[in-house]
Amino acid sequence: MDFTVPSEYEAFGDALIRFIEQEVVPLEKQHATLLHNERHTYSEDGRFVPAVNALRKQVRLKSAEAGFYTALGDESLGGGGLGAQAQVYIQERLNHHVGPTRHLVQTVVLPSPFTNGLTPVLKHLAPEVFARYSEQIASGEKTLCFGLSEPDAGSDVFGMRTRAVRDGDHWVLNGSKQWITNAPYADYAMLFAVTDESLARAGRGGITGFFLATDTPGFSVPSTIPTMGHLGADIGIISLDNVRVPHSQVLGEVDRGLAVAMDGVNAGRVGMAAACLGLARWALDQALEYAKVRKTFGQPIAEHQMVQAMLAECAMDIYASKAMIQHCAWLLDAGKPATKEVSIIKAAATEMLCRVMDRCMQVHGGMGLTNELRLEEGFRYARTMRIPDGTSEIQRRTIAKRLLAGDTAF
């Protein structure tokens, strides 16, 4: 393995940062009150106000025009075809540069690997159907959501209660989805439902994916789900009441929908791990700078061994995570099996970010508890990352099952 960053990745990263500084930062400054005061960002029902949605769309369109929005998409879908190693480099660099959640950057400049843009899930859509929607999806004009989780079926996907029943050339969907990113704003949805009860009960399949427009009769998003410290969200609940979907819009094979879903979920886990790495590096930078200028007992706190220990432990965590993530990305690009490794980096990187953010807040003392330096926001964000795309416990379950099945190579 050669960990030298290819010049084309560096050039892409340089151009991406310039794009953010030239196109996004001025918008953030111009609309600071709207974007940085959640009483203005969200309406009373917890949704982005129209002005925020308009700004996000504006950035998506500009990003797509510049070639960033589709760069990580598969070539078969019309994307740039950058592989896993490019993805982790770009996500790390982006998050290292911008820090915690910014409404006009995260999942906007670069779409979420399976929520928006040219998600790998779309590879399972019939070519003639994909052709009808591809241009608007790739341009950022239209957005997507991915509905797998339910109130009683998160980690236990076979506990899914949403059902799809064949009716001639259509399927009729009934049920609900929960914790669905971008659901309140999406134009199209990729939803999964039980189509064979016996297979699902046996844990051997029986789940099918469907692609549909969110203005289909019977589809609704009754509410958002604000999380830790937020007044609103881009996460929502989906209600399905006799929603009719043409059979031509099935994703992949009937009853084989979990394999389709995992194409997207695994891409999301790799991207999340790399984003956590970038955010951890951002937090350590803040702590290093503060430790050099903040003085106690007549000297910079950087001279105190307890502070040095926290900084060193952050570096150890970051280095270990970076090595794991780069190795996993190399496996994926080489076409090697990496189910175990994807779960390892998802759990390890999200937990690492929590530890790093916590230490960096501690280095800042009372200042770390304010949000003046965005560390407090970063800590809240870090804590949430241990749950979506498969909890840390589910990742450990997957790792253990792979080990017990004989996958013990490292």
Confidence of residue 83 (pLDDT cuts 50, 70, 90): very high
- Which pLDDT score is estimated for 371? 86
Give pLDDT, residue 3: 84
Please name the amino acid found at residue 340. Answer: K
Q: How confident is the model at residue 67 (pLDDT cuts 50, 70, 90)?
A: very high
Mean pLDDT over 377-404 rounds to 96
> Which amino acid belongs to residue 294?
R
**Residues 6 or more apart from 96 whose CB is under 8 A from it?**
278, 279, 281, 282, 285
pLDDT at residue 101, as a whole number: 77
| pTM value > 0.85 | yes
What class is the 7-123+133-139 domain? mainly alpha
- List the beta bridge partners of residue 208: 193
The CATH number that domain 259-404 falls under is 1.20.140.10
For the chain, what are the domain ranges? 7-123+133-139, 144-255, 259-404
Instruction: Name which of 28, 91, 38, 100 is nearest 373 in CA terms.
Output: 100
User: How high is the pLDDT of residue 190?
Assistant: 97
Can you tell me the distance from the alpha carbon of 394 to that of 148, in angstroms, rounded to the nearest whole number?
A: 15
Closest CA to 113 of 258, 6, 273: 273
Q: Looking at the predicted structure, is the pLDDT value of residue 107 above 90?
A: no
Q: Give 280's contacts (C-beta < 8 A, 6+ positions apart).
A: 314, 317, 318, 321, 352, 353, 356, 357
Report d(CA 383, CA 358) in Å as an integer. 10
Q: What is the pLDDT, as a whole number, of residue 44?
A: 95
The confidence band for 112, taking pLDDT boundaries of 50, 70 and 90, is confident
Query: Is the pLDDT at 114 greater than 80, yes or no?
Result: no
Considering the chain, what is the average pLDDT of its residues? 95
Q: Is the pLDDT of residue 131 over 80?
A: yes
352 touches 280 (CB < 8 A): yes
Q: Please give the Cα distance from 396 to 159 (Å, whole number).
A: 20
Name the helix (H) or strand (E) containing 191: strand 188-194
Q: What is the pLDDT of residues 287-344, one digit of tens each?
A: 999 999 999 999 999 999 999 999 999 999 999 999 999 999 999 999 999 999 999 9
Identify the CATH homologous superfamily for domain 144-255: Butyryl-CoA Dehydrogenase, subunit A, domain 2 (2.40.110.10)
Q: Which residue do the tokens 């039980």 mark?
A: 194
**What are the pLDDT digits (tens) for 135-175?**
999 999 999 999 999 988 888 899 999 999 999 999 999 99
The answer for residues whose C-beta is within 8 angstroms of residue 309's C-beta and 6 or more apart is none
List CB contacts of 37: < 8 A, sequence separation 6 or more.
none
pLDDT (0 to 100) of residue 115: 81
